[in-house]
Amino acid sequence: MAITAAPNPPNPNSPDLESPELDSLDPHTPVIVGVGQAAERLTDPGYEALGEADLASRAVNVAIADTNADSVAITQAVDTVVAVRSFEISSPLSRSPLGRPDNMPRAVAGRVGIDPRRAIQSVTGGQTPQALVTELAAEIAGGRSSGAVLFGSEVMSTVRDLMTRPESDRPNFTEQVGGQLEDRGFGIRGMTSLTEARHGMTAPVNQYALLENARRHRTGLNREAYAQEMGALFAPMTRVAAANPFAARPTEQTADELVTVDESNRKVAEPFTRLLVARDQVNQAAAVIVMSVAAARAAGIDPARWVFLHGHAELREQTLMARPDLSVAPAAAAALDHALDVAGITLDDAAHLDIYSCFPIAVFNICDAFGLRADDPRGLTVTGGLPYFGGPGNNYSMHAIAEIVGRVRRAPGDYGVVVANGGILSKHAVGIYSTTPATWRTDDSTAIQERLDSAPRVARCDDADGAATVETFTVIHHKGGRRTAIVIGRLDDETTDAPGPRFVANTDPDDTELLDILDARDPIGMPVVVRSTTDGNRVYASAESLRRLHPPTTPGFRDSYEHIEIRRDGHLLEVTINRPEARNALHPAANAELDSVFDAYFADPELWVAILTGKGDKAFSAGNDLAATASGAVFSVPKNGFAGLTSRPSLPKPVIAAVNGFALGGGCEIALACHIIVADEDATFGLPEVRVGLAAAAGGLVRLPRAVGPALARDMILTGRRLSASEAAAAGLVSRIAPSGKVLETARGVAEEILAGSPVSVRASLETMEETSAIADTIAAVGASTTVLDTLISSSDTIEGITAFVMKRPPKWSGH
């Protein structure tokens, strides 16, 4: 059966109900009156395989019992129940394979006899337990609440085990509870960018490894010495975990055992072995009850149970790629420093510490700032730390708070400190606890946050090319022996000695030379070369390595294509998207073929005009192939954008879109990127991305307002409204409408008209229109446009054109 905590006995040295210290307190002063924990391991006798709500209710019931008061009085005093977000609902990619209650706070409340006025589902992040305690304490202090229960529960180990059983033997944890719920969402915006995700920076172990290696380089330690430092930091935590009945891994281990790589302790991401990272496959729950002094008195709770929140702070760090120094997170130290200041104590005054320990750097970051040692006699954790006690999702620090409350109760007057961390050393919350009576104290985190936010930020380069320097790195060791690497670097700035923009890259799968360097030496500060590709940035040990693996190639046409068709007719190129079964939607392979074809078109001096159309009469293109996107292929769009056009820096030759049928989403954006749109009379245009949770980020958000005006563009973008061909023509999006089934014929006619003019003049006109489009002042733009004549005056086509006009004959264009 699940292990639960027995209520702590009262301490005879604690103040009683008649204490003058307590009599002077504001009745709205918040106090923690109950804490509880529950856990079960797969190997425990009587293991029950409890679901998330059931394990949470065990912890809440223990917290109620921990008050040593009548349970009915406690449940009636609680008006708010808050659930810390579990990993099953912590991101858009999370899932609940066995189902879950639709309203977790009320599902748990109902199990313990609470009917709350307010139910809250928290955001994602390891800082949330402490942040919620602070928030609810402030609500109580402001008279907006009399009592709150906060809880969190994770049953990842149970779910994983149950999923190995036949489907008929698996329980269904789904519950339709209903009722009011304040769901605050994920709260993870800004934690990871699209660029970081496509380079493998989504897993916390990879992100923290990058920061850890930056710190190792700053300390000047080699790999072996730093591994010993990490082991020495975490070994004392294993002793605490070994004595904790709730620990997922209650085994004491030495520093050497934690860092020595063997079959049971493999390297996961340099510099981490498996035993140095948070253990999330656990079944653990914890709960905290906070009440006003008035409500605690009314419920008959002995003041010996009361614990006061003396100090608190909550701060956030800059996003990882923007931080000036990847080896530190100053917001964490600032949060602890400010919380201590609010409490009116120093860290030396604290008898009990729990520093969030998902990875060594989270602890080092605080130790470095405050001069703490790994062998501090107080210890750096009261639970055993996330790798050994366990890392129950976002709820670890609720367990730390429960342990701290127990310790300060047993030693009245002691102070306990909880340092909680969320994201990638991103979000920090700190609490200072003691039984010593104290009125509610507000913090000034806002002013400190403004100072942190004003610190310099590093510019980011998503598509990086050129000479660079390694800033930090990690090598990821996959099961089976495969290795991949992530490098964060700075481009060289040729104009100054200062480092340029920051980028993230992976090693080339064929470049074992650099991978071996990263896996054996200290490459930070090493000069490298980075190259942007369709699949992301790739980094190489040298320009020679890059040339050897990817010799320069000249753009050209292939003999055949799988997903497109091409046709050359003199100076005209016709390109047809050949995926009618998918309404000519583009997947990575089709995008890559189109990108290479347009590279060849723009490089071929004998091709002067191109037409792009779709196969069949149903669709020009239905945009991005969402089936491929759902599998992660959204990251494989070419650098030059959909069809190799939407993000191309310039289109120096005319491209005509012959729109037959639907031009939706990315298909509409491709058409918008072309110079001229010719539409079949049955064609329709639209940007329906918002209806599937996306946005027209391949140019639609920018080009459509410029093409049809902001009012109509907003209508189309925000509602998904489609325009018919006639509506599109009236709005200025389409230049010509073709009879049904004749769009390609009409487009060829437009191409012939363009080919009748000088290709040099056409290209120069396109270039000048593009260059002057951003000049707001008309006269200034006109003045700038006259430079086009500088190009034409030296063109043989200009002489030919004037001569042919005088001689009343058709010109013979050379294209030069």
Model confidence over 472-488: pLDDT tens digits? 999 999 988 899 999 99
Residue at 213 is within a domain: no
Q: Residue 204: inside a domain, yes or no?
A: no
Task: Name the residue type at position 108.
Answer: V
The identity of residue 389, as a single letter, is F
Same domain, yes or no, for 580 and 535? Answer: no
How many folded domains does the chain comprise? 4
Q: Which of 492, 522, 549 represents a domain boundary (last residue)? A: 549
Q: Are residues 473 and 620 in the same domain?
A: no
What's 538's domain CATH number? 2.40.50.840
Q: Would you state the pLDDT for residue 480?
A: 84
pLDDT value of position 592? 92
Residue 815, in any domain of the structure: no
Residue 669 among the catalytic residues: yes
Q: Note whether 726 and 768 are same-domain residues.
A: no
- Which residue in 120, 117, 31, 35 sits closest to 82, CA to CA? 120
Is 228 inside any structural domain?
Answer: no
Residue 631 is predicted with a pLDDT of 46
In the block, tokens 């410029």 appear at 706
**Amino acid 629: pLDDT:** 52
Same domain for 188 and 62, yes or no, is yes
Same domain, 292 and 164: yes
C-beta separation of 355 from 381 below 8 A: yes
Please indicate, yes or no, whether residues 485 and 622 belong to a single structural domain of this protein. no
Same domain, 517 and 610: no
Which candidate in 52, 135, 212, 669 is catalytic? Answer: 669
Q: Choose the final residue of a domain: 736, 755, 774.
A: 755
Instruction: Return the pLDDT at 758.
Output: 87
Alpha helices for 88-164 (secondary structure H): 104-112, 128-141, 156-162
Question: Per-residue pLDDT tens for 266-298?
Answer: 999 999 999 999 999 999 999 999 999 999 999
Please tell me whether residue 556 adopts helix, strand or coil conformation: coil
504 and 624 within one domain: no
The per-residue pLDDT for 9 is 54
Please compute, for residue 426, the number of CA atoms within 13 A of its CA located in the half-sphere on the CB side.
Answer: 20
- The per-residue pLDDT for 13 is 52
Catalytic residue among 154, 314, 593, 689: 689
Around Cβ 200, how many Cβ atoms within 10 Å? 18
pLDDT at 552: 87
What's the pLDDT at 774?
A: 80
Please report, rounded to a whole number, the percentage of residues in the chain having pLDDT higher than 70: 96
Please say whether the dihedral angle defined by the alpha carbons of residues 677, 683, 689 and 690, taken in this order, is positive or negative: positive
Domain match, 600 and 544 both: no
Instruction: Evaluate whether residue 218 is within a structural domain.
Output: no
Q: Are residues 540 and 581 in the same domain?
A: no
In a domain, 136, yes or no: yes
Query: Among residues 549, 573, 596, which one ends one of the domains?
Result: 549
CA 149 – CA 133 distance, rounded (Å): 9
Instruction: Say if 650 falls within a structural domain.
Output: yes
Q: State the pLDDT at residue 788.
A: 67
Which stretches of the chain score pLDDT less than 50?
6-7, 15-17, 630-634
> Listing from the earlier edge strand, what are the strands of the sheet with 609-614?
564-569, 572-577, 609-614, 655-659, 676-680, 736-738
User: Residue 305: which domain range?
Assistant: 3-196+273-453
Whether omega before 555 lies within 30 degrees of 0, making that bond cis, reads no
Query: Is residue 210 in a domain?
Result: no
pLDDT at 630: 47
533 and 569 together in one domain: no
Q: Are residues 750 and 764 in the same domain?
A: no
Instruction: State the CATH number of the domain containing residue 11.
Output: 3.40.47.10
What pLDDT does 628 receive?
Answer: 63
Residue positions counted in the chain: 816
Q: State the CATH number of the domain containing residue 696.
A: 3.90.226.10
Would you state the pLDDT for residue 20? 64
